[in-house]
Structure 1
Amino acid sequence: MALTTIGFDADDTLWHNERFFALTQERFTNLMRAHAGSDHLAERLLAAERRNVGHYGFGVKGFTLSMIETAIEVSEGRVPGSVIAEIMEAGREMLSHPIELLPEARATVQALSGDFRIMLVTKGDLLDQERKLAQSGLGDLFDAVEIVSDKAPEVYARIFARHGTGADEGLMVGNSLKSDVIPMIAAGGWGVHVPHDLTWALEHADAPEDNPRFRRLPDLSGLTALIAEIR
């Protein structure tokens, strides 16, 4: 079976990302302690993120705006300007956090780069994703980089046709079943799920266990062997 092109997700597949959202949400909870309990605040924030993702997209900017909106809502407009300023500062700090590669990320991409076309396919804010890629030191290992607003079957079909030999001869690796695995399989390719300890609630989905093109690995260290098996 032909397999020519490997796509990697970025956030929480090659480097840590969700941990910074979790830390900022904890900071947000402390800032809003006088106005809402942690569980209620988390529910309202998630609802705001769900409403806003179609307007602001994925990433830090949308998250920051959702925190501000939630702060205004739960406080019934009484949240001090100083708290809004701290929320904005927390968002800015997220946009400058250092990149920490996940174990085996570099070694795995390097090991595959000689035999396959290697792509980075990530979604989120363009400037932030470009910053993280530059700081990761992995940029030169990719034959193509695609930063998209969302990941859907037609997006994968278009990307793997443009940079490879079609989705049916492609494989996508990522921590999100909803974004990295299920739509790639729907496009005709292989989807490999590499779970991360932290996954955003809006990325949860049921695994397509019965699909012959679905695979799961505990970490990236087993990817080269898996791909050899598939070939």
Structure 2
Amino acid sequence: MPQFPVGQTLLIDADDTLWENNVYFERAIASFIGYLNHQSYTREQVRNTLNGVERESILLLGYGLHSFTHSLITCFERLSPGPVSDEDRERVRSFAATIRDQEIELLPGVSATLAELSLRHRLILMTKGNRAEQADKLARSNLAPFFSAVEIVAEKDPPTYREVVARHELTPHSTWMIGNSPKSDINPALAAGLHAVHLFHKDTWVLEHAELAAPGESQRLIELDGFAKLRDMF
């Protein structure tokens, strides 16, 4: 028997909550580091440099494959021991291109769970990133019919959550954010007065790591290790 009554609003993240995503970026990064084959830096040092470059690129270009490709090329140019050729740049671009060609791989139990939850609650997809890329992934996932609305935002921060709440006339005490990222899904949603469900994913992007914030006195924070377990809660 679900713990919470019918009629909740569930804001649900997409990447690494509904389908695999970061694992493909990790594979591209592994290929990139292998191609760079730097003799003076360890793989960990190269990765740390790339993390810093990605933070810069996000501020400049936002999220998505264009930003990621820019980060790989910039990192290669900074760390390459010799001149960077056009051939080098094209090879680096090819690593990012492998992500674009990936089929959508739903996480276990996602489709059946959404179908069940959509009968009892209002589901809104809330994801950040490049609008065209995220909309394309949603279309290819065949999950769109389960959602009453879709929010593709540039960033997930407390003001954005408050804007979504106001736009859809949501009631905070019956609204939940569900996702794998402490930094983007959980902590800012709690800061905006919502409840939250953290779905652990072993491959959550390192730039999304953060300590989980403590919920307020009237808030709930639930931690689960599988999407299908939402059926027991809602």
- 1:131 maps to which residue? 136
1:175 partnered with 2:168: no
Residue aligned with 1:53, SS: helix
For residues 32-61 of structure 1, the C-alpha deviation after alignment (integer angstroms, 9 at most, x for no partner) is: 014654222111101101122111112222
Q: Following superposition of structure 1 onto structure 2, how do residues 1-231 of structure 1 map, counting pairs within 5 Å?
A: 4-34=8-38, 36-75=41-80, 78-209=83-214, 211=216, 212-227=219-234
Q: Distance in 1 between matches of 2:38 and 2:196?
A: 45
Residues 167 and 184 of structure 1 are in contact (CA less than 8 Å); yes or no, is this contact kept in structure 2?
no
Q: Distance in 1 between matches of 2:123 and 2:168?
A: 9
Q: Distance in 1 between matches of 2:181 and 2:161?
A: 14
C-alpha displacement at 1:168, in angstroms? Answer: 3.3
Amino acid corresponding to residue 189 of structure 2 in structure 1: M
C-alpha displacement at 1:88, in angstroms? Answer: 1.3
Residue aligned with 1:158, SS: helix
Residue aligned with 1:215, SS: strand
C-alpha displacement at 1:144, in angstroms? Answer: 0.3
- Stretch of structure 1 that moved more, 55-64 or 188-197: 55-64
C-alpha displacement at 1:210, in angstroms? Answer: 5.5
Amino-acid identity (%):
34
Q: Distance in 2 between matches of 1:223 and 1:74?
A: 45
**Over aligned residues, Cα RMSD in angstroms?**
1.8
For residues 100-139 of structure 1, the C-alpha deviation after alignment (integer angstroms, 9 at most, x for no partner) is: 0000111111111112211100011111111110110101
Tell me the matched-pair count: 227
Q: Distance in 1 between matches of 2:34 and 2:85?
A: 14
Q: Distance in 1 between matches of 2:123 and 2:92?
A: 37
- 4+ runs of 1 displaced by more than 3 Å? 34-37, 209-212
Unpaired stretches in structure 2, ≥5 consecutive residues: none
Question: TM-score, normalised to structure 1's length?
Answer: 0.92
- Stretch of structure 1 that moved more, 77-86 or 149-158: 77-86
Q: Distance in 2 between matches of 1:210 and 1:133?
A: 30
Unpaired stretches in structure 1, ≥5 consecutive residues: none
